[in-house]
Structure 1
């Protein structure tokens, strides 16, 4: 089965992001707006029990994460993804690093660029037009996220929460 690990931002940011994703992201119905901490990986039922135990320890040894969003950006020309840029910080980078050790030690395919996708799989012209208009948004948002989620993929391609992990020793 395929699994992944993500942070979900507040409803306020999810609503803003979904107002764009409805039109510009074909994965809109498959997963809520999120910050991917670990891309999809395969694990057996036995493996996921071990992984979940490791994630509990990782969560206890990690701090809640301050999310700061200040601008819209794009991965173009590598691919036509438009996103809200989440400013990297020590707590976020530390958690990402921890999630690539132990049973999950596979190196990430791409450098970690924390973001929340607004649109993807756009043609070059559509990407240029949409990015131009969305970049005019004045996005200034900060919040603290106190949990991350282990997700699994259903047969229809959608993702659902397998388990939620609260960050920090106070959240045991």
Structure 2
């Protein structure tokens, strides 16, 4: 089965992001706005039990994390994705690194750039136009993240769903 680990932002921020994703992100219906902590990986049921125990340990040892959304940016020329950049954050980077360690060890496909996708799979012309418009929007948002989520891909519905939620700092 396919799994991933992500942070979901507050409902207000999700709604704001989705106002763009509805128009510019073909993956809009596959997953809610999120910050990817660990890209998709495969695990058997037996492996998953060990991984869940590890994620619980990591989450309980990690205090809630304050994230700041700092600006609109793009991965161009690598790809035409446009996103809200999450400001540099040592705690978030450490959490990401821990989720690629232990029983979750596998090669990272990309450098970790914490972000919330607004648009992707745009043509070059669309990308340039949308990026210029979105860069004019003032982006200043801060919130505290209290949970991370293990996601499982439902191949029948072609959608990522929350499989298990882990509280940071062992709270809640």
TM-score interval, smaller chain = over 0.9
RMSD after superposition:
0.9
Tell me whether 32-41 or 88-97 shows the greater mean CA deviation: 88-97
Runs (4+) of structure 1 exceeding 4 A deviation are none
1:47 equivalent in structure 2:
47
The TM-score normalised by the length of structure 1 is: 0.97
Q: Determine the C-alpha separation between the residues in 2 that align with 1:5 and 1:88.
A: 19
Q: Does 1:101 align with 2:101?
A: yes
1:136 equivalent in structure 2:
136
The 5 A counterparts of 1:1-172 are 1-155=1-155, 156-169=157-170, 171=171
Q: Determine the C-alpha separation between the residues in 1 that align with 2:88 and 2:101.
A: 19
CA displacement 1:143-163 (0-9 Å, x = unmatched) = 000100000000132000000
Q: Determine the C-alpha separation between the residues in 2 that align with 1:86 and 1:11.
A: 17
Tell me whether 73-82 or 155-164 shows the greater mean CA deviation: 155-164
Q: Secondary structure at the match of 1:168?
A: helix
Aligned residue pair count: 171
Q: Secondary structure at the match of 1:110?
A: coil
Q: Determine the C-alpha separation between the residues in 2 that align with 1:34 and 1:133.
A: 22
The TM-score normalised by the length of structure 2 is: 0.97
Provide structure 1 residue ranges, at least 5 long, that are not aligned to the other structure: none
Provide structure 2 residue ranges, at least 5 long, that are not aligned to the other structure: none
